[in-house]
Copies of this chain bind each other. A is one copy, B any other.
Amino acid sequence: MKKTKAEAGETIQLLLQTGKQHFAKYGYAKTALEDIVKDSGLTRGALYHHFKNKEGLFFAVIESIQKQIAQNIEQQASKSSDQWEQLSLGCRAFITSAIEPDHKQIILIDGPVVIGWNRWRQLDANHSMRLLYNQLEQMQKNGCFLSLSVESLTHSLSGAMNESALWIAEKGSFDSIDEAMHVLDVYFEGLKQTN
């Protein structure tokens, strides 16, 4: 009954994938581990062997999504060499990634609540908020918005994007992305005139 290492890896991936689907569809609280393992053709034993507990599985799911989103942001931002345009492109990429049905509930709603706000922020160095912070910090080094706290600005913009993304996802219309980005661009106009 013991499987080979590669097979065990597949088991982990299966649990991650199935878990992601359930967490995305039902939310963390209403997701039953029993259903996840049943859908995976496994038992509670498998899950608790590979993950510490429900929160552990959720944490792992979040990590994989975060990596994907961060990759997306970097890819889009790198399409321009202008720092303000990079910022704008990165923000749009975040919103676009975040509202994907598989991501929305996990990233925008349950994530910070379940794993706690502190751990949420520390998640990993490639977390999307980190990318935002780095970009803003670089811009400040280049002389932009010198009077502002980059940390404060990061959280402010991050929050604006999170809530905007939720609103967009709710409306279901992709035009809303443009509206939200328009608002952000207006903020950026204010930032450009700050020193």
Q: List residues of A whose CB falls within 8 A of some B CB.
A: 27, 29, 109-110, 112-113, 117-118, 145, 147-149, 151-153, 155-164, 166-167, 170, 176, 179-180, 182-184, 186-191, 193-194
> What are 18 of the A-B contact pairs (CB < 8 Å)?
A109-B112, A109-B113, A148-B182, A148-B183, A149-B182, A151-B167, A152-B179, A152-B180, A155-B166, A156-B163, A159-B163, A162-B163, A186-B190, A187-B190, A188-B190, A189-B190, A189-B193, A190-B193
Give Cα A187 to B190, complex, Å: 5
Partner of A110, one of B113, B160, B189: B113
Give Cα A29 to B54, complex, Å: 13
Tell whether, in the assembled complex, residue A163 and residue B170 are in contact, meaning their CB atoms are under 8 Å apart: no
**Known contacts A148-B183, A189-B193; 6 further A-B pairs (Cβ under 8 A):** A110-B113, A152-B179, A153-B183, A162-B163, A186-B187, A187-B187
Give Cα A164 to B148, complex, Å: 14
Tell whether, in the assembled complex, residue A182 and residue B109 are in contact, meaning their CB atoms are under 8 Å apart: no
Give Cα A149 to B167, complex, Å: 12
Q: Would you give the shortest CB distance from A59 to chain B, in whole angstroms?
A: 15
Q: Would you give the shortest CB distance from A182 to chain B, in whole angstroms?
A: 6
Tell whether, in the assembled complex, residue B167 and residue A152 are in contact, meaning their CB atoms are under 8 Å apart: yes
